[in-house]
Chains A and B, each alone.
Chain A
């Protein structure tokens, strides 16, 4: 049962966003007996309403509100108003994610110490270690039902995986499997097993894939302590004369402006909206935006080093059949500077349908080189390359004062330039990806540029010292004790791994901290 809380109830925790971070945090707090209101900008869909059609689903789920871009990244040229492919709906991007759930490696929490001082990179060690995170990773894996943990078997390999596995093994890779996936390989937690539908990015219609929409929020709501208000776009976080936050102003589903009071506010709107909200909440007391005494809000925007390789064969693959991303090679994930770059990358199976393949294979390209590749669609196998990119202060989410959204607020501008380390890693990954497919007889391989970002990270980074970042080791802002950040924007650095598992583990840890501090009366 949803628990409607009063707008003037200043004892509630208000969470902005219902994705992997916000949805998990809200559910955990509710389970601990704390009253929570989640304000979600998007609509609430049922899993039955998801659509097995890429563009229709994009229209249903994607964040399409105006944004702008700048910088030398190709997304700026090809998709100037779509820096990120993320979700505006209850469940956030956990509705859209592919399910890959990998823990960070030890050194990825200590990049400044491990990689040293890299020109142009704003590297910093996390104020948390892998050892401290391990118990929370374990809880996250259990809760999300991650395959190959907790005695859960791996998913069966689909056609795309079989090509990938065969090629990877042939060129000597050892760590090849159908991965650690938060997709049920057998029924668990009242959710059934994967039906190999495909369309993992379009919202799982069988419920086998974990999302906060189906696996967390209903549990929180059942306690009577959690209320989720969809179509509620937060405009501003307010504070009192002492500098403590007091609530948020939002526009509700009927277009009416409302003010929800709060004891604590947690921001979890993904790494573009979260800093935007802090910046748009500037006041006389905080002229540069909330929690921004370091000047780091919006900076160090990371999107992972990404790229894809598709291999075209002389016989059918039907890569789109079955689980989209159940396949990983981890051999390149380690830090081995002999390759000419720091950090590492994962190779993961990936497929797109014909409509998105046409849009993303080589955006803007036309003519026979492009169409002959499309003609090979049924014979294609595909992989995604995802690795650690370097945080740079100049890669940044700022307010574009010249462009306003439907509420009259400045939109986010996302500026991004690759670091030379990102370029070196991508080139290595393209070569290795092509070698995987070449070894099993690819006629042609297609190095495909990064898509609009799905992994948006780092814009409210965690730091030990207040001057280096926005939040402390608990996601609590350095400047304001009752203001938290609960999404991937907390990441100090990005790691090579898909971020959702780490976001969920951090949310579980943060819920424990917030409940503890509330109990002690410190916030």
Chain B
């Protein structure tokens, strides 16, 4: 199985494939790399370009400027894992990305992940939002992104509380601005 996210940094063979939205994400061999965030995600079932597109798409669906790309990558990782076991899912994802890239090429002359403006990429997504591919990605993402415990502090959510004695002595009624 591929490493979830390893912090091995950027290989010298890494190729910067674009300057658009995915400029921060590179494909190298069978991995998607984020030099800025110092992680890499290896893929085997899906094409690395496909995973890169999925991560860009994930951010376009649920854009949070304060949430680093690695959380979107973690949320998209199950599609790689599941595609390895499920040829129909693999086809759905690969074909879905191909369709998206085709639409992007026709309108902007570059693949989806390299379209420069979020607004333009979102317009492309709106065109396919009723498709099984889009619904599959969004449906998994709404749990896969927001259910990561590590992402909660960014939203100011403290998670489990019983193990800390609840909030009876930890600010359940500490509001001061009213």
A166 at the interface (CB under 8 A from B): yes
Nearest residue (CB) in A for B155 is A377
- Using a CB–CB cutoff of 8 Å, the interface residues on chain A facing chain B are 50, 52-55, 156-159, 162-163, 166, 194-199, 205-206, 315-318, 320-322, 353-355, 357-359, 364, 366-368, 370-371, 374-375, 377-379, 440
The one of B66, B138, B157, B163 in contact with A366, judged by C-beta atoms closer than 8 angstroms, is: B138
Report how far A371 CA is from B160 CA in the complex, Å. Answer: 23
Q: Do residues A196 and B167 form an inter-chain contact, with CB atoms below 8 A?
A: yes
Q: Contacts A159-B175, A196-B167, A197-B166: A354 and B143 contacting too (C-beta < 8 A)?
A: no
Chosen A-B contacts, 18 in total, with CB atoms closer than 8 Å, are: A159-B171, A166-B178, A195-B168, A205-B162, A321-B158, A321-B161, A321-B172, A322-B167, A322-B172, A354-B157, A355-B147, A368-B63, A374-B62, A374-B155, A375-B64, A377-B156, A378-B155, A440-B178
Closest 5 CB pairs of A and B: A378-B156, A195-B166, A322-B172, A52-B160, A358-B146
- B175: chain A residues at CB < 8 Å are 159, 162-163, 316-318
Report how far A379 CA is from B155 CA in the complex, Å. Answer: 9
B145 at the interface (CB under 8 A from A): yes
Q: Do residues A162 and B162 form an inter-chain contact, with CB atoms below 8 A?
A: no
Distance from B60 Cβ to chain A, minimum over Cβ atoms (Å): 8
- B161: chain A residues at CB < 8 Å are 52, 197-199, 321
- A198: chain B residues at CB < 8 Å are 161, 166-167
- B162: chain A residues at CB < 8 Å are 50, 52, 195, 197, 199, 205-206
- What is the number of residues of chain B that contact chain A, defined by CB distance less than 8 Å? 36
Q: Do residues A52 and B163 form an inter-chain contact, with CB atoms below 8 A?
A: yes
Main secondary structure on chain B at its contact with chain A? Answer: loop
Q: Do residues A318 and B166 form an inter-chain contact, with CB atoms below 8 A?
A: no
Q: Do residues A206 and B166 form an inter-chain contact, with CB atoms below 8 A?
A: yes
Distance from A309 Cβ to chain B, minimum over Cβ atoms (Å): 18
Nearest residue (CB) in B for A356 is B146
Q: Do residues B174 and A159 form an inter-chain contact, with CB atoms below 8 A?
A: yes
- B142: chain A residues at CB < 8 Å are 358-359
Distance from B11 Cβ to chain A, minimum over Cβ atoms (Å): 32
Q: With contacts A196-B167, A322-B167 known, what are 6 further pairs, Cβ within 8 A? A: A54-B147, A159-B172, A198-B166, A199-B160, A358-B146, A366-B129
Q: Do residues A157 and B173 form an inter-chain contact, with CB atoms below 8 A?
A: yes
Residue in B155, B158, B171, B172 whose Cβ sees the most chain A Cβ within 10 Å: B172
- B61: chain A residues at CB < 8 Å are 366-367
Distance from A210 Cβ to chain B, minimum over Cβ atoms (Å): 18
Q: Contacts A367-B61, A367-B122: A375 and B157 contacting too (C-beta < 8 A)?
A: no
- B129: chain A residues at CB < 8 Å are 366
B177 at the interface (CB under 8 A from A): yes
Nearest residue (CB) in A for B176 is A315
Nearest residue (CB) in B for A316 is B156
